[in-house]
A and B are shown apart, each in its own frame.
Chain A
Amino acid sequence: AVQLVESGGGLVQPGKSLKLSCSASGFTFSSYGMHWIRQAPGKGLDWVAYISSSSGTVYADAVKERFTISRDNAKNTLYLQLNSLKSEDTAIYYCARRANYGGFSPFDYWGQGVMVTVSS
């Protein structure tokens, strides 16, 4: 079964950095694009970043220049480097798999999420 497990969250001060990981299993990780999506406490979902199977990347405007998505196919792991963190980055961060329906595709499988709290 497809499984995505995030880790690396926690409490961090404004302006500091954090690196999130998402360990994937149950599918051929290298063949799939992957996303990070976040949800602020009590709020809706916001797409954050995408990395294709060939490591092309796209970012939401709110995190461009501060966050970096990457992947290690040998380790079946997705990463999100969060730099220059702001209080508004406080959220649950989910990794999700891009579905392979051909052409444009939404997200099919999600991890359970990891909490990032930015506060002094």
Chain B
Amino acid sequence: DIQMTQSPPSLSASLGDKVTITCQASQNINKYIAWYQQKPGKAPRQLIRYTSTLVSGTPSRFSGSGSGRDYSFSISNVESEDIASYYCLQYDNLWTFGGGTKLELK
């Protein structure tokens, strides 16, 4: 089974900051990684698929990159509506989530 190590578990940012979250897979996942946002009491919402493709409705301040085992997700110019938890998901071999990152306001 593929394991996904996501870091950091929590992140504190000021409005307007750029933040970056990383996910490392236990093996090459061939860019099959997606990123989800989850707000308290809500279902997750897909933001990015296939490493860097923004899904419809995702603001351009969100971005993703990476290859092989190592991937990153960034938010430039953090806005108040971005305060949430974020999860990576590998879908190269079955489906495995990272442990999540809780983004809070500083």
Interface set of A (CB-CB < 8 Å, partner B)? 35, 44-47, 50, 58, 60-61, 94, 99, 101, 104-108, 110-113
A47 adjacent to B95 (CB under 8 Å): yes
CA distance A66 to B85 in the complex (A): 30
Interface set of B (CB-CB < 8 Å, partner A)? 1, 32, 34, 36, 38, 42-46, 49-50, 55, 87, 89, 91-92, 94-100
A111 touching B43 in the complex, CB below 8 Å, given contacts A45-B100, A101-B49, A106-B49: yes
Chain B residues with CB under 8 Å of A60's CB are 94
CA distance A50 to B43 in the complex (A): 18
A47 adjacent to B46 (CB under 8 Å): no
Chain A residues with CB under 8 Å of B89's CB are 45, 106-107
CA distance A44 to B34 in the complex (A): 15
How close is B6's CB to chain A, nearest CB, in angstroms?
9
A104 adjacent to B92 (CB under 8 Å): yes
CA distance A60 to B97 in the complex (A): 12
B87 adjacent to A106 (CB under 8 Å): no
In the complex, besides A45-B100, A106-B91, 10 extra interface pairs with C-beta distance below 8 angstroms are: A44-B97, A44-B100, A60-B94, A94-B43, A99-B49, A105-B91, A106-B46, A106-B95, A108-B46, A111-B43
A44 touching B99 in the complex, CB below 8 Å, given contacts A104-B91, A105-B91: yes
User: Can you pick out 24 interface pairs between chain A and chain B where the beta carbons lie within 8 Å of each other?
Assistant: A35-B95, A44-B99, A44-B100, A45-B87, A45-B100, A46-B97, A47-B94, A50-B94, A50-B95, A58-B94, A60-B94, A61-B1, A101-B49, A104-B32, A104-B91, A105-B91, A106-B32, A106-B46, A106-B95, A107-B34, A107-B95, A110-B45, A111-B43, A112-B42
